[in-house]
Amino acid sequence: MGEEDKVYQEPKKDKQQTLGQFRVGLSFNPSNNKLVNEIKTKAADLIDLIERNKPIVTSDNLGALTPLGEEIIRLSILAQDQIESAAMWAVKAATKS
């Protein structure tokens, strides 16, 4: 793999990050490693996908969730936490020298 394969363009700082991008630290890649960017981008996308499936609590229902809604939120949080951890370990593996 040539050096040009490892470099990517830094995301613009003025763009608001999604929850997934924030959690995986997408904008932090001091080595400009292309694989690190790919790992973080895919993990962020998956976190965001899961986030969209969570029930939305509004004032219309007084914030009350059904047991199913509570379970969906619990499982979503667990999944997102594991994705964040997996991304961290994958980045560590990608940057070992």
| Whole-angstrom distance, CA of residue 10 vs CA of residue 87 | 18
Across 20-43, average pLDDT = 96
Q: How far is CA 52 from CA 30, 36, 95, in A?
A: 30, 24, 31
Reported pTM: 0.76
Please name the residue that has the structure tokens 């292309």: 34
Angle (CA) 13 19 23, round 5°: 85
Amino acid making up residue 18: T
Residue spans of the domains in the chain: they are 19-52+66-97
Q: Residue 60 — very low, low, confident or very high, per pLDDT cuts 50/70/90? A: low
Amino acid in the structure at residue 52: R
pLDDT digits (tens, 9 = 90+) for 18-29: 999 999 999 999
